[in-house]
Structure 1
């Protein structure tokens, strides 16, 4: 069975790049461009991992990470945060994500880090 990843990223170009990478790695991917869309459809997708951007048009991915870590259904799911504007230290103090990826990211490192969380 293919592994599933929910991607929350507001930038269309970055979503497209991530899509190419993850689909090439044989992941099933569901994309969301804002928190409102994510809340409507992410849990129904039954993902194995959440990949969340921090700065979003309708909120903050760090806050969403905290919410997901408190929900019984998603508390133990791996969450990987992405940001160009926050340091690891800042993100770790605000959210207990399983990993943090800085944008722009190295494609090989990106794949290795996601694979490590769900394999």
Structure 2
């Protein structure tokens, strides 16, 4: 049974989410403050977090950063009544994997959680996983196990980062516009903006490039977008 930590200060909204997800078969813990959320994060060890931005004793963005610093893989679904693009982009920048604007249906909430858990489980790689087939190459991608290797070391990525890397890997040399990357990674109906793609690219460069400011692999094609080349 997957465990969901709901962090929501509105009692009625949190209770409604908790009841619905319980009926869907999830084990749920509900926190109405940032302090309690941090305690449950360590004691409950959730498989996915539903995090509201507005809390009485904490900023949801800061709390997201705290969780992400402790775990780079646990899925975080940020929810908020704030619908400005800047808020959504900032949420992704702080480490959220998805952003759901209020009001939302319980069916959509459950579908988002299910998708995040499915991707998280697919991305899990056993510690005994074999080394990449071609260790002589600086970068390897094991698509089946959803694992990125840099100099034979497994590198943790977010779901979106891996999807972008997979697209690059399978189409080396092809130039992708931000819009194309956005559509392939999140879908045509997504709230994510092209600015978020730049954030994902910057994070990928930090993980695979020896000097992110002078990238050898993920190249910027000015005025168009990005391409990937094995150096």
- TM-score normalised by structure 2 residue count: 0.48
**d(CA) in 1 for partners of 2:14 and 2:63?**
18
Distance 1:88 1:4, change over 3 A: farther
8 Å Cα contact 2:50-2:79 kept in structure 1: yes
Q: What is residue 90 of structure 1 aligned with on the other side?
A: 87
**d(CA) in 2 for partners of 1:3 and 1:87?**
31
**d(CA) in 1 for partners of 2:77 and 2:85?**
12
Q: Report whether the alignment pairs 1:79 with 2:82.
A: no
Q: What is residue 15 of structure 2 aligned with on the other side?
A: 16
Q: What is residue 70 of structure 1 aligned with on the other side?
A: 69
1:88 is displaced (CA, Å) by 4.7
Q: What is residue 106 of structure 2 aligned with on the other side?
A: 107
> Which has the higher Rg, Structure 1 or Structure 2?
2
Task: Report the more deviating stretch, 2-11 or 59-68.
Answer: 59-68
8 Å Cα contact 1:7-1:30 kept in structure 2: yes
8 Å Cα contact 1:81-1:101 kept in structure 2: yes
> How many residue pairs were aligned?
116
8 Å Cα contact 2:51-2:77 kept in structure 1: yes
8 Å Cα contact 2:9-2:31 kept in structure 1: yes
- Say what the alpha-carbon RMSD is for the aligned residues: 1.3
Structure with more relative contact order (C-alpha pairs < 8 Å, separation 6 or more): 1
Secondary structure at the counterpart of residue 51 of structure 2: strand
More strand by share: 1
- TM-score normalised by structure 1 residue count: 0.90
Distance 1:38 1:113, change over 3 A: same
Q: What is residue 26 of structure 1 aligned with on the other side?
A: 25
**d(CA) in 1 for partners of 2:59 and 2:83?**
12
8 Å Cα contact 1:88-1:100 kept in structure 2: no
